[in-house]
């Protein structure tokens, strides 16, 4: 399985991050250990939402959508 995910900073609630992984638990752990330069300043993180896909291409396409203008509107409206 591949996952497009949305995480939210616990200490800075306005900070969110959208990503893609095939191991959600490990990736969240990596974010909370500060292993990502994009998220290390705002740790700890928690998973807000995730979406599971059977194929990598579909997960990548959904991640791209979530990072687009319409995807950000979608996230604000539904999450």
3-state secondary structure of 8: strand
Segments of 1-79 assigned E as strands: 2-9, 16-21, 45-53
Give the per-residue pLDDT at 77. Answer: 87
Give the per-residue pLDDT at 35. Answer: 95
Q: What is the pLDDT along the chain (79 residues), one digit of tens a residue?
A: 999 999 999 999 999 999 999 999 999 999 999 999 999 999 999 999 999 999 999 999 999 999 999 998 998 888 8
DSSP-derived letter for residue 55 is: S
DSSP-derived letter for residue 39 is: T
Closest CA to 4 of 19, 15, 16: 19
Give the per-residue pLDDT at 63. Answer: 97
Mind listing the domains of the chain with CATH numbers? 2-78 (3.40.1440)
- Output the pTM of the full model: 0.91
32 CB-near residues (< 8 Å, 6+ apart): 43, 44, 45
């Amino acid at each position: 399985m591949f996952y497009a995910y949305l995480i939210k900073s616990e200490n800075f609630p306005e900070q969110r991050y959208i990503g893609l992984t095939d191991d959600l638990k490990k990736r969240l752990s990596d974010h909370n250990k500060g292993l990502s330069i994009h998220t290390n300043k705002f740790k700890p993180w928690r998973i807000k939402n995730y979406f599971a896909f059977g194929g990598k291409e579909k997960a990548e396409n959904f991640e791209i959508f979530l990072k687009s203008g319409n995807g950000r509107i979608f996230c604000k409206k539904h999450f």
